[in-house]
Structure 1
Amino acid sequence: MRARLGETTIATADEADLVRIEGNWYFPPQSVDSRLLHESDTPYTCPWKGVCQYYSIKIGDEVFADRAWAYPTPYPGAIEKVGRDFSGYIAFAPDVEVGD
């Protein structure tokens, strides 16, 4: 699976390595081109997943604010609910195309 914004591939991983949560594909951190992600100050805490870290995606001179997010330290109950540890896995906003 790939995550692309326009012509730029942001992440690539086998589907078996991804985690699906609430309709979003979460990519393992090592599968994401971290050079494109920049931490955002946007605050959010999911009631059941925990504190979220948003990222903006920078491609060339263009910045796409808050188009990616992760839960660096999910609540223990969230890991149990999902059935797999998704700490640090990264999901993307709808305008980032995720597919084969």
Structure 2
Amino acid sequence: MPKAIWNGAVLAESDRCIVVEGNQYFPPDAINKQYFQESNTHTSCPWKGLASYYSIEVDGQVNKDAAWYYPQAKDRAKNIEGYIAFWKGVKVEA
């Protein structure tokens, strides 16, 4: 079962992930919300839409914008709307 780990903490775990462009997207109910902080960062993908970000905080250490999601995905990416993916040193084990 895929899980996302950073700084020794399990950030998310689910057997309902969706893989897009090599990234595991975790369903919103699979994340451990205590580690997530809303970020003001946004980026745009031509086919997925406008991405929003979370910073991750574990034991006082912050990994800025280490997770992203599409709150209102474009039609071709509706299957991952609200799902969360990781980067910036977050280890995703499959």
User: What is the TM-score with the length of structure 1 in the denominator?
Assistant: 0.87
Count of equivalent residues = 93
Letter in 2 for 1:59: V
Three-state SS of the structure 2 residue aligned to 1:52 is strand
| Structure with greater strand share of residues | 2
Counterpart CA distance in 1 for 2:66 and 2:4 is: 11
Partner of 2:38 in structure 1?
Answer: 39
Counterpart CA distance in 1 for 2:43 and 2:61 is: 24
Offset at residue 12 of structure 1 (A): 0.9
Three-state SS of the structure 1 residue aligned to 2:42 is coil
Partner of 1:70 in structure 2?
Answer: 69
Offset at residue 94 of structure 1 (A): 4.8
User: What is the TM-score with the length of structure 2 in the denominator?
Assistant: 0.92
- Following TM superposition, the consecutive aligned residue runs of length 4 or more in structure 1 with deviations greater than 6 angstroms are none
Counterpart CA distance in 2 for 1:71 and 1:90 is: 8
Going from structure 1 to structure 2, the CA distance change for 1:20 and 1:94 (only over 3 Å counts) comes to: farther
Offset at residue 60 of structure 1 (A): 2.1
User: RMSD of the alignment, in Å?
Assistant: 1.2
Computing the radius of gyration from Cα coordinates, the structure with the larger value is: 1
Post-superposition Cα deviations, 1:20-52, rounded to whole Å, max 9, x if no partner, equal: 011100000100011111111112111110010
Partner of 1:4 in structure 2?
Answer: 5
* Unpaired runs of at least 5, structure 1: 80-84
Q: Is 2:92 aligned against 1:98?
A: yes
Three-state SS of the structure 1 residue aligned to 2:5 is strand
Going from structure 1 to structure 2, the CA distance change for 1:65 and 1:94 (only over 3 Å counts) comes to: closer
